[in-house]
Amino acid sequence: MDSTTDLQDRLKLLWQSIESSATKAGRGTASIRLIPASKGVTPEVLSQAYEIGLRVFGENRVQEAREKQPLLPADTEWHFIGGLQRNKAREAVRLFSLIHSVDTPELAQELDRRAGQAVKVQSVLIEVNVGGETTKHGTEPEDAGSLIETVLKLKHLDLKGFMTVAPYEEDLEKVRPCFTRLRNLRDEMETRYGVSLPELSMGMSHDYQVAIEEGATLVRIGTALFGSRKPVFPLAD
């Protein structure tokens, strides 16, 4: 079986499913972008993904992205979706067009400083722990306001919206309130600060359908597209 065809079939099914969730919610698909989560995906499969038209990938390790990026054509866009350590900020600014996971003022300030040095305005999302799990990254919802104020003051950061990783639940109706909460938070913050925060990065293979119903604009999908895989670069960073 040709694996490019497999990938194409999975992509087609995924888009059909995304479209049907969007339709169910009375939305079009123009505001929804699929971000293939490519951690652990080999360069060969990434090239196949590029061949079938995918032009953006979400990586969650700086080191892995640094090794893979030169292997793909230059018009490929890369997002950072994992937890980011401050000592990786300079590299992250160099490698990614959108960083989904700003969750502390210290990280925001370091990214701003590094973006300034690189003469770049770095697009970012603030990651919010709406699920309340202690193991998860992300600012607590009650701290989101002060983090937004910090980010809005930083000249080399452009805040585009919010991201969350929902807790895993078998019953998707238990996940839905997380996504609703993130959307409501976004709406409140737009009103409070008089800014536009269009992006909601929420939904993964298991829960993207409810995320789309609740307003996701960026869905980060790995397994449903690439199948399950082992990390190719197991080094933690």
Ligand X SMILES: *Cc1c(COP(=O)(O)O)cnc(C)c1O
Check residue 17 for interaction with ligand X (CB under 6 A).
no
Q: Report the distance separating Cα 66 and Cα 122, nearest Å.
A: 17
First to last CA, the chain: 35
Check residue 36 for interaction with ligand X (CB under 6 A).
no
Check residue 39 for interaction with ligand X (CB under 6 A).
yes
For the chain, give the number of residues.
237
Check residue 14 for interaction with ligand X (CB under 6 A).
no
Min dist CB 18 to ligand X, Å, is: 13
Min dist CB 158 to ligand X, Å, is: 21
Name the residue nearer to ligand X (CB basis): 54 or 154: 54
Identify the residue among 21, 46, 82, 211 touching ligand X (CB under 6 A): 82
Check residue 66 for interaction with ligand X (CB under 6 A).
no
Name the residue nearer to ligand X (CB basis): 45 or 81: 81
DSSP tag of 141: G
User: Kind and range of the H or E element at 181?
Assistant: helix 176-193
Q: Of 36, 34, 35, 59, give the one whose Cα is nearest residue 233.
A: 59
Check residue 131 for interaction with ligand X (CB under 6 A).
no
Residue 68 token pair: 């893979």
Size of the site for ligand X (CB under 6 A): 14
Min dist CB 203 to ligand X, Å, is: 8
CB nearest ligand X: which residue?
222
Name the residue nearer to ligand X (CB basis): 160 or 220: 220
Q: Of 55, 39, 59, give the one whose Cα is nearest residue 47.
A: 55
Check residue 222 for interaction with ligand X (CB under 6 A).
yes
**What is the residue-wise DSSP string for 56-121?**
EEEES-HHHHHHHGGGS-TT-EEEE-S---GGGHHHHHHH-SEEEEE-SHHHHHHHHHHHHHTT--
Restricted to residues 182-211, the positions that interact with ligand X (CB under 6 A) are 204-206
Q: Which residues bind to ligand X, rule: CB under 6 A?
A: 37, 39, 60, 81-82, 165, 204-206, 220-224
